[in-house]
Structure 1
Amino acid sequence: MLTFTSYTVENIKDPFGILSGKRYEFVVNLDVPEEDELYEENGVSARAVIKVEEGDVKVVSCDLLETTTGKLLEFDLEEDEEAELAQFCKEHLPE
């Protein structure tokens, strides 16, 4: 189970109007125990692009980053962890 400590969210503008639905970029800081394979001394964040269309919320892309440096990590979230992240993002969508 993931523990989310803080987050930011931004609306991704589509100046050409070619994308369906709305898109948001979430950057969510994760609390990762030292014994977990995802652990990084400088912290771990998930950067997720979320698509909202007709009430459906979906993770379009998700990258794991070292929090302080922004360095892309070579890990992916497991399916259940991605579902947790999607639920968190759904609950924290801007009005």
Structure 2
Amino acid sequence: MIEISAYSVEKIKDPFGILAGERYEFYLDLEVEEDDELYLEEGLAARVVYAVEESGARIVKYELLERATEKYVAFELEEEELEAVAAFCREHLAEAGQG
């Protein structure tokens, strides 16, 4: 299981009004146990695009990155981990001016 140790959040600007609702980019530092397949000695991070629309809020896209180099890591989060990330994003929207 993953644990979020640090994060930042920023509202994504949409000057042309193309996107429905609002979008937020979360950058999450993830802590992973050494025996987990996601474990990287250099650390693991996630860049998450989170949408808030009339129909609800959801993760639009996420990428896992090696924390030290920010290189893309070709792994996916398990369903329960993805749900935990979505809940974290939902809880921290206020810090980006939404909530």
Asked if Structure 1 and Structure 2 have the same fold, meaning a TM-score greater than 0.5 normalized by the shorter chain, the answer is yes
Judging by fraction of residues, say which structure has more strand: 2
Q: Which runs of 5+ in 1 are unaligned?
A: none
**What does 1:11-22 align with in structure 2 at a 5 Å threshold?**
11-22=11-22
Identity %: 52
**Once the two structures are superposed, what CA deviation does each residue of 1:59-89 show, in whole Å capped at 9, x if it has no partner?**
0001100011001001011111111100000
Structure 2 match to 1:10? 10
Matches of 1:66 and 1:57, distance apart in 2: 27
Structure 1 match to 2:40? 40
* TM-score after normalising by structure 1: 0.94
Paired AA for residue 83 in structure 2: A
Matches of 2:82 and 2:72, distance apart in 1: 17
Q: In 2 relative to 1, CA 87–33 (structure 1 residues): closer, same or farther, beyond 3 Å?
A: same
* TM-score after normalising by structure 2: 0.91
Structure 1 match to 2:26? 26
Q: 8 Å contact 2:2–2:33 — kept in the other structure?
A: no
Q: Which runs of 5+ in 2 are unaligned?
A: none
**What does 1:1-95 align with in structure 2 at a 5 Å threshold?**
1-54=1-54, 56-93=56-93, 94-95=96-97
Matches of 1:42 and 1:55, distance apart in 2: 38
Aligned-residue RMSD, C-alpha: 1.1
Paired AA for residue 31 in structure 1: E
CA drift at 1:2: 2.2
Paired AA for residue 48 in structure 1: V
Matches of 1:56 and 1:91, distance apart in 2: 14
Moved over 2 A (4+): none
